[in-house]
Amino acid sequence: MSKYVQDIRGVVNKEITNKFASHLGVLVGNYLSHEQNVLVGRDSHTPSQMIKRSLTTGLMSAGINVIDLGIIPIPLIHFDLTLFNATVMITISKSHLRPEDINIKIFSDYEIPLEQRNAEKVSWDNIGNLKYAPSHKDQYLRKILQKAPSEAIKEKGFVLVIDCEESINQPFASQILNDLGCQNIIIGCKESHSDFNYPEPSPHRIALVSEVTTAVGADMGVIFDNDMDMVVFIDEKGNRIRDQTILGLFSKYVLEENPGASIVSSVVVSKYLDKITEEKQGKLIKTSVNQVLTSISENNAIFGGDEPGMYVFPEFQVCFDAIFAVVKLLGIMAQKDSTLSHLAGEIDDYNRNVFTIDCEHEHKARIIDFFRDKFASKYQVNTIDGIRVDFDDSLILIRPSRFEPLIRVYLESNSAGELQGLTKSVKSMIDEVQSH
């Protein structure tokens, strides 16, 4: 399992160039033992192919053996780590934020230092090998069928609408769901080169899946991102289910089966999850956005998740796995003999407002300090990732962006009216700090 994920993001051919990717490969290789295996994979985006090749040459020049799994979702490449005797995997894919951006994610058992400047290459006779290999899809499929309540799901004969844009040909997730007796109506699932086609589900994609779901009377609509580590759920009535609702739903049912166990999420998590874990005598561990997988491993948690639509079931693998999350949700629906809308309705959502505010990097620390000084003496404050202030029935979370000159603000309240007032007050305080 991989405890650490290092995310590198930038504009293709400007910030992340072939030279940058090759140098990064050498840096990673310098930290690893010579002849160690590293798995690499990518999405179907053309720039991803280009950057992956440059990164691969860098790894090889540092004496690292590279196993190239081609176009492959993150859950499958992570599943292959132990099968290929590797401890590090690197994926390259289109960013969820901007079409010109690309993401390089490094998964490993340890945090690899990337600040060193002098990248050392090995002699010509110690260059690493490159091997192209198919992924172990069959083993992944067999393990899912072992972990899922297969017979209960098959008896229901669920109908699903599946959108996995940026995939190629027939999506692998559909094969798994077919084997579980589901009828799948597939839309999207084709390679696209549009600069405006973001991997993260757009309102248009969500609306399309919603319309098809209700039109055909499907039990669920599912929208995968290009890496298949994120998923959006649409209920049988065509309503998108909020990520925090799904997080609460999963937590509720895994804690029913494992009372007193630990759940992990980032500081972005809703206050309602505190209520769920308290009711089930569980423990909720809030960590930074970048440390969810690490915290799951270190605390032997039975479940973890984060926005947007990322869920981890350690019983299967410690990885954000959208495919297994869909199977897990179908299992809950089958065993509870319930619809997704009914299950989601049991989760008492708070009113929530999320927005960004432009903020230059030099002002971010002053804003965090201001809110800490104002509230730390009277309320519960968490500063592991920005600052989160928990009141009795509401919360404020301010997280500085690592990549952009802005801060992200998350507000939550039991009352819609109080949320409106809280929004106005927080914006006013941030404006005040920035104006001085």
Would you say how long the chain is, in residues?
A: 436
Residue for token pair 């600069």 = 195
pLDDT of residue 363: 87
Bridge partners of residue 104, in order along the sequence: 8, 92
> Do residues 148 and 195 both lie within one domain?
yes
Domain final residue pick, 307, 322, 345 = 345
Domain final residue pick, 101, 135, 169 = 135
The string of pLDDT tens digits covering residues 223-242 is 998 889 999 999 999 999 99
d(CA 132, CA 109): 23
Which residue type sits at 113?
A: P
> Do residues 16 and 122 both lie within one domain?
yes
Residue 435 — pLDDT band, cuts 50, 70, 90?
confident
> Do residues 178 and 288 both lie within one domain?
no
The string of pLDDT tens digits covering residues 341-390 is 999 999 988 999 999 999 988 889 999 999 999 999 999 999 999 999 99
Which residue type sits at 351?
A: N
> Do residues 284 and 383 both lie within one domain?
no
d(CA 404, CA 14): 16
The string of pLDDT tens digits covering residues 404-425 is 889 999 999 999 999 999 999 9
Numbers of helices and strands, H then E, in the chain: 14, 20
Report which DSSP code applies to 117.
Answer: -
Backbone angles phi, psi at 145, to 5 degrees: -65, -30
Give the CATH number for residue 274: 3.40.120.10
Look at the chain and report how many structural domains it folds into.
4
Domain final residue pick, 205, 238, 271 = 238
> Do residues 253 and 166 both lie within one domain?
no
Give the CATH number for residue 393: 3.30.310.50
Beta-strand relationship, 101-108 and 351-358: unpaired
Q: Are 94 and 104 in contact (CB under 8 A)?
A: no
> Do residues 311 and 367 both lie within one domain?
no
> Do residues 405 and 332 both lie within one domain?
no
Contacts of residue 5, Cβ cutoff 8 Å, sequence gap at least 6:
105, 106, 107, 290, 293
> Do residues 188 and 265 both lie within one domain?
no
> Do residues 83 and 199 both lie within one domain?
no
Packing angle of the helix pair 137-147, 172-179 (nearest 10 deg)? 40
Q: Which residues constitute the domain of residue 385?
A: 351-435
Q: Are 429 and 409 in contact (CB under 8 A)?
A: no
Q: Are 152 and 331 in contact (CB under 8 A)?
A: yes
